[in-house]
Structure 1
Amino acid sequence: MPDIDLPADADAGADAASASGPGPARKPGARQKDTHQKTARHPVDERLPWHRLVPLSAQHVLAMIAAPVATAFLISTTLRLSAGRTAALLSATLVLCGAGALLQSFGVLRIGARLPFVMLPGGAAVAIFLDVAVRYGAATASGSVLLAAVLLLLVLPVYGRIVRFFPPLVMGATVLVIGVNMVRVTVPMITEGVGTALVTLAVTALGFLLLRGVGRQMSVLLGMAAGTLVAVLTGTPFRPAPGDAIVALPHPFPYGLPRFDLLAALPLMVFALASLAEATGQTVLNSEAVGRPPHPARDVPRTVRADAVASLGAGVLGTSIMVTSAENIGIVQLTGVRSRFVTAGAGVLLILAGLFAPLTRVLTALPPPVVGGAALIVYAVIAAMGVDMLRRADLSQGRASTVLALTLLAGLLPVLAPQVYEPLPVWARTLFGNGVPAATLTAVVLCALTAPRRPSSRRPPPSTAGRSTA
């Protein structure tokens, strides 16, 4: 994540220009010049004709569709949902992704950054959601999502003070542990068809290694298509969910009324706080990609508000936390089209896909080993992202390497030796027996305790302002 100064929150920019008072007498031709300046649009606000908008929007959808599909199937397989409920969950997930893209692209009441963003289910948060669901029930997991979303909204006024507790060392270690935990959760999905899963994994991996641009971003879909073909050829039945409806409306509270348990929700709430740092980096990166000067104090809270609102919807509709993603930034850079109306169009296409019942019913027929094989490589990539984040931390210092070692110990011990936590009280098992919150809390506390103290009379040099060190 780039170095970022975080001034006090203020809405500035275009509105300030219109507030200027009367000026000196205008010269002849000045009105024509002013009119031209007023009509000139920034590329991010460019409205494209339909014949360009639709294919460009579809391109964004194809690049990100694998994430919501894989998430819905991972939740369905872990919770052993029926085919009909799986189709309903997939429909809800696609609708939430589309609504989130519309919020971020258009921005309403300071909800949404007005940048070309798409929204996805938080890949890392899915592991925590499923862990809570398995331990306490799916209704408690939905309640935990709602509590985490409310927490995000409550902490935004002090966002600048919280984000400094999540430097690259904390984020990298946490994401690495999340990737390992997700691999552990996903492995049971491939036991019914290891060969099919290996074909899916191999084709996906080759796509990541050999393809470029949009083709590379579609590697997961290509792998799932190849795995499904192999499964059908080897006798695996391909049975779509029953039903003849054309429109599928998402069902609220599919697991019953949500249950609120602060202790059970703590892992997701910690993840929500940690996501503030990632939202900062994504927003600055997207602003730079479209050529708009980054304004994190204004735009990051708007980004996070949209995440929180979409996550409230996720808690109601039975899925995990929704997060703004930078998956589409590569397409923006590849095509040179920076308009936020393109991602808004992608949002509309996602909502239509989620409401089109025949499509979601067909997708539910994908064999679990296919979904598991694709998910394995996706979450291995998440672990690799954690390693990349750790490169930004200065591990040459003894304190930083010690913090990393203890964080990995806290995060991996529940995976490698869960029996260690059996003698502990229930609250301690909940907090430390789950690798993700244990690693995050360990990293945050140790980084805060070992951070170098600067003399109060001296201000940090500009090159280090806004970044916490480990």
Structure 2
Amino acid sequence: MSATAARSESTVEPVDERLPLQRLLPLACQHLLAGVAAPVSSVILIATTLKLSSGQTASLLSATLVLCGIGALLQSLGVRVLRVGARLPFLMLPGGAAVAIFLQIAQEYGPATASGSVLVSAAFLLCVLPFYGRLVRLFPPLVMGTTVVLIGINMIKVTAPMVASEPGLGFATLGVIAFFFLVLRGVWRQMAVLLGLVGGTLIAVLTGTELQVAHGGTFALPDLFPYGAPHIDLLAAIPLLVFALASLAEATGQTVLNSEAVGRAPDPGRDVPRIARADALVSLGSGIFGTSLMVTSAENIGIVQLTRVRSRFVTAAAGVLLIVCGLLTPLTRLLAAIPEPVVGAAGLVIYAVIAVMGFGMLSRTDLSHGTDSVVIALALVVGMLPIVAPEMYADLPSWARTLFGSGVAAGAIAAVALSAVFRLLGPAVTSPSDGPGAPPADGSR
């Protein structure tokens, strides 16, 4: 090798390193294991809540895995001409909060409206990306934390009846999931919920439950528009529209985290719009195939830090494996046969963890001066009323019931509005470390 070639090879950034196949595949399998639990558990929750047949469930799972694979390829390899994808080792998964909102819309307005809301939200996200810098300021930890808490609480209420249908099996599954969280470490711990689903299913089989496994060939393409033609209802779509905007703030943090992990200087102004553009394009496919919004995830970043392999081609290979798994119909049909109480138990864990994540976001808010705590309290009141007393809005016009009757949408809108009003018109907040002549912490004079 010439000295010039050696210097050229040495200047390749770790994130752009191309690995030989014998190293690439085992590493890609690790990322696959870290990411596969989210689409599997999300689809089974959707299918069980909407009472889909085993064949419909298998098709939905196939579509979701394929879309996750396409998303990983877009984010890892990028399309420079279209400014799509960050060219970082990201995976793309159905977000837990997005799944919760999708199910809420589907239960209230029907799955066709939920699919239409996904299409509207994805198109909306593409349209607002030029205003990214201004929009992301509307979603500080206060707003995002309140919204995520409400999503978790709302979906716990929805999922609990699934466990109640057979409490013994449901609580046994909860025990299995807790056991795996306790004993597993590293990437395996990220699979605790998926392994809990397997363990709960084994318990169901051993106690006499017969699994309803659909029949079919080895490979098959997923079904288009499984709920019929999507129905567009802008008011019903509000919760997903709010989530789409909030995802920009989340993507900002994940971009910084992933960039630092691979040794690249973070550039959210460049990378976040590219990440969100890929999210929106894949989410358009989600609306067509009947699943929820897709969001880029840094869930696999722990593997990057553990293995010290920063190459984006590893997650691109994981994307290919996800697509292959999605097209292998025996695998998707088997996963689709998991019993309802087992799915419900996994859902309780997932949505409870979402609520805890919301509380974690709120913990980053300064509550010492009282203003933010009042905003959080009022937003939680607005968001909790439809959950604990849905009859309150029975006499309102249909558009008002749609807007205020959804705890997630009402709480999120209240949090955004109250946060902005208190920031502009409320008392100036001075941190304890500020001197007598220091400007207020919010920058106002």
Question: Alpha-carbon deviation of 1:39?
Answer: 5.5
* Residue matched to 1:155: 128
* Residue matched to 2:184: 211
CA contact (8 A) 1:148 1:265 kept: yes
Question: Alpha-carbon deviation of 1:367?
Answer: 0.8
* Residue matched to 1:7: none
CA contact (8 A) 1:190 1:369 kept: yes
- Structure 2's unaligned 5+ residue stretches are 427-433
Counterpart CA distance in 1 for 2:277 and 2:129 is 8
* Residue matched to 2:361: 389
Residue 189 and residue 449 in structure 1: after superposition, are their counterparts in 2 closer, same or farther (change >3 A)? same
* Residue matched to 2:318: 346
Show CA shifts across 1:341-395 (max 9, x none).
1111110010000001111111111111111111211111111111111111111
CA contact (8 A) 1:68 1:90 kept: yes
Q: Does 1:274 align with 2:246?
A: yes
CA contact (8 A) 2:48 2:343 kept: no
CA contact (8 A) 1:199 1:227 kept: yes
* Residue matched to 1:94: 65
| 1:119-268 correspondence to structure 2 within 5 Å | 119-243=92-216, 245-268=217-240
The root-mean-square deviation of aligned C-alpha atoms, in Å, is 2.1
Q: Which amino acid aligns with 1:262?
A: L
Moved more, 342-351 or 61-70: 61-70
* Residue matched to 1:302: 274
CA contact (8 A) 2:218 2:328 kept: yes
Show CA shifts across 1:105-152 (max 9, x none).
000121111111011112101121112112222111111100000110
Question: Alpha-carbon deviation of 1:35?
Answer: 6.7
Of 60, 63, 73, 2:31 maps to 60
Q: Which amino acid aligns with 2:106?
A: A
SS of the residue corresponding to residue 93 of structure 2 reads strand
Show CA shifts across 1:377-416 (max 9, x none).
1111111111111111111121100001011111111111
Question: Alpha-carbon deviation of 1:37?
Answer: 4.1
CA contact (8 A) 1:165 1:468 kept: no
Question: Alpha-carbon deviation of 1:452?
Answer: 5.1
Counterpart CA distance in 2 for 1:366 and 1:387 is 31
Counterpart CA distance in 2 for 1:203 and 1:77 is 20
* Residue matched to 2:375: 403
* Residue matched to 2:411: 439
Counterpart CA distance in 2 for 1:412 and 1:235 is 40
Of 48, 65, 74, 1:103 maps to 74
Counterpart CA distance in 2 for 1:188 and 1:337 is 44
TM-score by length of 1: 0.88
Matched residue count: 429
Counterpart CA distance in 2 for 1:267 and 1:214 is 32
* Residue matched to 1:420: 392
Of 14, 28, 31, 1:43 maps to 14
Of 49, 52, 69, 1:81 maps to 52
Question: What is the percentage of aligned positions where both structures have the same residue?
Answer: 64
- Structure 1's unaligned 5+ residue stretches are 1-30, 455-460
Counterpart CA distance in 1 for 2:161 and 2:68 is 27
